Amino acid sequence: MNADDFGLTDGINRAVADLHRSRALTSATLMAAAPRFSEAVALARPLASLGVGCHVVLVDGLPVSDPTAIPSLVDGGERFRPTLGGFVRDLYLGRIHRADIEREASAQIQKLQRAGIHVTHIDTHKHTHMFPAVLDAVTRAANHCGVRAIRNPFEPAWSVAATPEAGTTRRIQVQLLRRFLRGFRRVVEQRQLATTDGCVGVLATGSLDQATLASLLHRLPEGTWELVCHPAYLDDELRATRSRLQDSREIERNALLTLPERLANENIQAAHFGQIA
C-alpha cells in the first residue's frame, strides 16, 4: 500500500503518518521539491517500518536541479510543463532529452538521501515512467543512486474489471498504455531492479471508496501487487493545489482505515518495496 504525493501538503503528511500507525499503509513516495518536504522527512524518520520512496516529478511541478542544467525539461522557464499531454507530446517530438530526465531524477533521489531517507524505490508523478524514454532515464538514475526497486505502473485486466466506478476514457487509457508493459519488464530486468506483478488503484484514482477497495482486494490473485492511493486530510492547503484530487482524498483515507481488517479477512500480507528488493 503506497501513498503518492508525500510532502505536498500538511494534510497529506498527517494522513500518511496516521494511516501507517493504524497499519493501513506500508509505504509512501516523497516529492523532493514539495512545499512540505521537510515536515514529511521529520514525520518519516521515527517511523522505521514505513518504506519511503522517491516520487519523481517531471511534469506539473518544480525541479530540484538548476533549470539551466535541464533546459529541455523546463522549456525555457523555471517550472516543468504543466500538463501530462504537453510532456508526452514534446517527449515524442524529441524536445525532451533523456540526459536531462536522468539528471533531474538523480537530483530528486539524492535530495531524499541527503535528508537521511533510505529510498526504498522510485515511481513517477502521473506515471510518466510508463513511456520508454522516461523509463530508460529514471532506471539509470536509480542504479546510479543505489535504489533497488521501481513501481510497475501497469494495471492488469482483472483490476480494470474490479473498478466499476472508473470512467470510460480512463479505462481506455489504461488498456492502451499496457502495450508498454513488455518493454518495461525487459528494462527493469536489465537494470536489475525489483518490482511487483502490477499495481491496482491507478484506475480508481478519485473513486477509491470502501466498495472499490473491497472489490479489488477480493479479486487479488497470487503474486506481489501494489495498491496505489492518494489519502489526505482535506484542508485549505490542499484546496489551493492544482490537484484534481480534493474531496476524493478524504474518501480514500476513510476507506483505507478498513484495510487492516480486510487484509486479514482475505489472507493478504502487507509489505513495502524495501522488503521485496
pLDDT of residue 163: 84
Q: How far is CA 243 from each of CA 5, 75, 151, 273, rounded to the nearest angstrom?
A: 10, 22, 21, 26
Domain count, the chain: 1
Give the count of beta carbons closer than 10 Å to the beta carbon of residue 68.
Answer: 8
pLDDT beyond 90 at 98: yes
Q: Highest mean pLDDT: which of 29-33, 237-241, 246-250, 262-266?
A: 29-33
Domain that holds residue 228: 2-276
Over residues 117-174, the pLDDT tens digits come to: 999 999 999 999 999 999 999 999 999 999 999 999 999 988 888 887 777 777 777 8
What digits encode the pLDDT tens for the residues 182-203? 999 999 999 999 999 999 988 8
pLDDT at residue 171, rounded to an integer: 77
Q: What is the largest CA-CA distance in the chain?
A: 53
pTM attached to this predicted model: 0.94
pLDDT band, residue 175 (cuts 50/70/90)? confident
Q: Tell me the pLDDT of the chain averaged across its residues.
A: 93
Strand partners, 228: 2
Confidence of residue 176 (pLDDT cuts 50, 70, 90): confident
In this predicted structure, what is the pLDDT of residue 157?
85
Residue with cell 509512501: 28
Is the pLDDT confidence value at 243 over 70?
A: no
Return the amino acid letter for 205. Answer: T
At residue 68, the pLDDT reads 95
pLDDT for the residue 172: 77
- Residue 244 pLDDT class (50, 70, 90 cuts): low
Residue 82, Cβ neighbours under 10 Å: how many? 12
The CATH number given to whatever domain includes residue 237 is 3.20.20.370
The residue among 114 and 239 whose pLDDT is bigger is 114
Summarize the confidence of residues 29-53 as an average pLDDT.
Answer: 97
pLDDT at 189: 98
Residue 6 three-state SS: strand
Q: What percent of the chain has pLDDT over 90?
A: 81
Question: How would DSSP label each residue in 121-160?
Answer: EEEEGGGGGGSHHHHHHHHHHHHHHT--BB---PPPHHHH
Say whether pLDDT at 75 is over 80. no
Q: What is the pLDDT of residue 132?
A: 96
Q: Quick one: average pLDDT of 193-218? A: 91
Query: For residue 169, what is its C-alpha cell?
Result: 476514457
